[in-house]
Amino acid sequence: RRVGEMACLFNNGGTITLVTLVSPYRADRDEARKRHEDQGLKFLEVFLDVPLNVVQDRDPKGLYAKVAAGEIKGFTGVDAPYEPPLSPEVSLPNQQMTVDECVAVLMDALRRQGVLSGGPADASGLPLPPGFTGNWL
């Protein structure tokens, strides 16, 4: 809930905000969407649609091994629920896509929604801040 509210604050201030976290319950995601819509703000749900076995194979922190060993309980998607979105605006089966392909799909969705339109943009298509005339670091 707090992250959704922070996203609203940034979004309302004109900042494109990507919230990257596991949000296991549809009701929580729906509430974040409603909060944005109530303020006239854009909200796109992006679902990284990856099978659990692929996520377990990618596990850089060894958390799934700890779950399997019984060291961690209540782990989302294993022994705690995860409710996949029913109709996300963007679905990325990223085990079948490169990172660049995922970024291209997301950028295209942002453009179609009018998020990346208007003023000057950099070479990747991202809008430049108002008054920006220099180079990035």
| Tokens linked to 113 | 């929604």
pLDDT tens for the chain, 137 residues long, are 889 899 999 888 888 888 988 999 999 999 999 999 999 888 999 999 999 999 999 999 999 999 999 999 999 999 999 999 999 999 999 899 999 999 999 999 998 888 877 667 777 777 777 777 777 66
Residue 128 is predicted with a pLDDT of 75
Identify the H or E element spanning 92.
strand 90-92
From the candidates 23, 91, 117, 124, which is the catalytic residue? 23
Query: Other C-beta atoms within 10 Å of 33: how many?
Result: 16
- Has 91 been annotated as catalytic? no
